[in-house]
């Protein structure tokens, strides 16, 4: 499943971070690494961007960026 397909209030584990080299590096520098647990806090009113909680801090990602991240164990 892609991170962009998750609903508010769901938690999942990162499996893969894709995208071009620049985007991938930026996402990895934010702490969104393989094996990291992420929680979808909320979506903006027009569904873009989404707010995540990663390692105890809040991160905003555009939906197109979140579509480059594969997750598993969605609960």
For the domain made up of 3-72, the CATH class stated in words is mainly beta
Q: pLDDT exceeding 90 applies to what percent of the chain?
A: 97
Selection from 6, 19, 2, 1 nearest residue 50 by Cα? 6
Per-residue pLDDT for the chain (75 aa), expressed as one digit of tens each? 999 999 999 999 999 999 899 999 999 999 999 999 999 999 999 989 999 999 999 999 999 999 999 999 999
Q: What is d(CA 9, CA 41) in angstroms, rounded to the nearest whole number? A: 6
pTM beyond 0.85: yes
């Amino acid at each position: 499943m892609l991170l962009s397909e998750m609903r508010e209030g769901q938690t999942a584990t990162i499996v893969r971070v894709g995208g071009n080299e620049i985007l991938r590096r930026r996402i990895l520098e934010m702490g969104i690494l393989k094996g990291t647990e992420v929680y979808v806090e909320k979506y903006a009113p027009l569904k873009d961007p989404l707010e995540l909680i990663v390692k105890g801090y809040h991160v905003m990602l555009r939906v197109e960026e979140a579509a480059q991240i594969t997750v598993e164990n969605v609960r």
